[in-house]
Amino acid sequence: MKKIILLIQFICLPIVGLSQEDGIYNIKDYGAIGDGAMLCTKAIQTAIDKCNASGGGKVIVPPGNYLSGPLFLKSNINFEVMSGATLLFDNDIENCPIVDGRWEGIERKVYASLFTGHDLQNVTITGRGTLNGQGEAWWEAFYRTRDIRMQNGITEREPDNPIGSPLKVPRPRMINLYNCSNVLISELMLVNSPSWTIHPVYCENVTIEKISIVQPHDSPNTDGINPESCKNVRILNCFVDCGDDCITIKSGYNEDGRRVAKSCENIVISNCTFANGHSAIGIGSEMSGDVRNITVSNCVFNGTSRGIRIKTGRGRGGVVENYRADNIIMNNVTTAISIDMYYGNKDTAKLPVTIETPFFKNIRLSNITAVNVKNALIVKGLPEAPVEGLSIVNSNFSSKNGFQASFIENAEFKNVHVNCENGNPLIIDNGETVDIDGFKSDNLENKEAVIRLSNSNDVYIHNCKTKVSTEIFLQSKNTENLKLDNNWLYKASVINE
C-alpha cells in the first residue's frame, strides 16, 4: 500500500510543478474561487507577480465567475480569460486605489482600472471569456458627483471634485495602459465598463482585435476604444455597441495637452462593425497634441448618432491631418459625416490665429454608402482656420438633408450622389478653391437648386448631369471665379446673384 501511495505522489507532484515550469499560472492555484462572491484580487495579483518574476508566461482564468478589484499588470504577461470564465470588477468605490493617469486629455489622479499598466512591454490580454465592469454603481456615483459639481458652479473639467462627492477622482476604465509597448488585446467580450472601456495612453505598437464591447446605450461615457497619444495602433475585426463613442482618437486637452505634446498617429481601423453610440469613429475633441495618419476601411456603422466624426474647438490648438476612410457602409445614422471645429464654441466671428487655434487638413473619404440618414454631411470650419483638403469621392447618400459645408479650402466632391428629401443636396458657404466633379441628385421634388454657393471663390463645377425634371441646377451668391464646364443640365437653370 505504501508503494502505491509513493507512486501516486511521484506522478502527481511533477504535474503541479510542470504548470509553472512551463510558464502557466492558474489563478485557482493561488486561492481564487470562481463563485462570483469571493474577492479574488490577491490571488490573481499573486499569479501575475509570480509569472513576471519568473521571466514571463501565461496567467489563466479558468471557467467560473471571479470577483476582483483593480489588477496591476506586469511585463511579459499573457493574461488569458478562458471560454466560460468571467472576471467581475468589484464595485467597492470607497476602497478602489487611486493612481496617476489621464482623463479627458488631462494628466491627473484617477481610480485604478480592472487592468492598469504603467511602463510595460509585451502585454497580452486575451481569451474567449468575459470582462464585466459591473459599472452601475460607478454610473450612479458619476451622476451624483456631476450634480454636486453643478451645484458648486463647476462647469469645466479641470477642477477636482468637491469634498463630499461620491467620486474623489475620475472613474476607472476596464483596461487602462500607460507608456506600454507591444500590446495585444484579443477575442474578449467586455461589458458594463465604469467609463471608457479600453484606453491606451502613450502606448506604441498596440493591436486590438476580434473583441466585442457591449454597453447599455444610456450608460455615461462608456466609450469603446480610445487610443490617446499613441503610435502604431491596429483595431481589427471588432464589434462595438456602447453608450458613447465607439472609437475616439485623442491626444490631450488644451494647455495640458500642448504641454505633454504627444501626438496620436499611425492608426489603422479595419473590418469592424459599430452600433448605436454617439459616433462610430471619432477624433477629438481632445486633439491638442496632434492626430495624424489615420486609415479606416471596410467598416459598417448601424444606428450611431454620427458615422465619421471629427470635432474640436477654439482653445485646443493642434492639428488633425492625413485621414483616410474607404469602403464604409452606414445605415440609420443621424449624421453620416460630421466635421466640426465649433465644438463647445459659439462665436462665429473671425479671430486671430494663435497657439490655441486648431487645424484640420487632408481628409479623404471614399466609397461611402449611407442610407436612412438624417444629415449626409455637416462641415463647420473656422473663419481663421478653414477645413483644408477635404475630399469626398465615389460615394452615395440617401438622406433627409444633404451636404452642408462652411469654411472649406481646397475641397473636392467627385462622383458623389446625394438624394435628399429637404433643401439643397449641396450647400457651400465660404468655400475657397472647390472642385465639384460629377455631382448629382435624383429626387428634387422640393424644387431647390442642386448646388447652392455663397461667399465663395474659385469654384469649378464640371461633368454634372441633372434629371429632366430639375428646374434649378446652381444658385450662387457673392461667388467669384466660378467656372462651369461639360455639364448636362437639360432645362435646369443657373442663377447667379
pLDDT tens for the chain, residues 1 to 497:
444 444 434 344 333 333 566 899 999 999 999 999 999 999 999 999 999 999 999 999 999 999 999 999 999 999 999 999 999 999 999 999 999 999 999 999 999 999 999 999 999 999 999 999 999 999 999 999 999 999 999 999 999 999 999 999 999 999 999 999 999 999 999 999 999 999 999 999 999 999 999 999 999 999 999 999 999 999 999 999 999 999 999 999 999 999 999 999 999 999 999 999 999 999 999 999 999 999 999 999 999 999 999 999 999 999 999 999 999 999 999 999 999 999 988 888 999 999 999 999 999 999 999 999 999 999 999 999 999 999 999 999 999 999 999 999 999 999 999 999 999 999 999 999 999 999 999 866 668 999 999 999 999 999 999 988 899 999 999 999 999 999 999 889 999 88
Which region, left, alpha or beta, applies to residue 434 given φ > 0 means left and ψ of -120 to 50 means alpha? beta
Q: Which CATH class is domain 400-497?
A: mainly beta
In degrees rounded to 5, what are phi and psi of residue 133? -75, -10
Candidate list 223, 241, 244, 326, residue with the active-site label? 244
Hey, what's the cell of 179?
507608456
> Whole-model pTM?
0.94
Strands (E), 251-331: 264-270, 273-276, 279-283, 291-302, 306-311, 319-331
> What is the residue type of 386?
P
Residue spans of the domains in the chain: they are 2-399, 400-497
Instruction: Answer whether 2-399 and 400-497 agree in fold.
Output: yes
Superfamily assignment of 2-399 in CATH?
Single-stranded right-handed beta-helix, Pectin lyase-like (2.160.20.10)
What residue type is 228 in one-letter code?
Answer: E
Active site residue 244: yes
Q: Beta-carbon neighbour count of residue 227 at 10 Å?
A: 25
pLDDT the model gives residue 21: 60
The model's pLDDT over 220-259, given as tens digits with 9 standing for 90+, comes to: 999 999 999 999 999 999 999 999 999 999 999 999 999 9
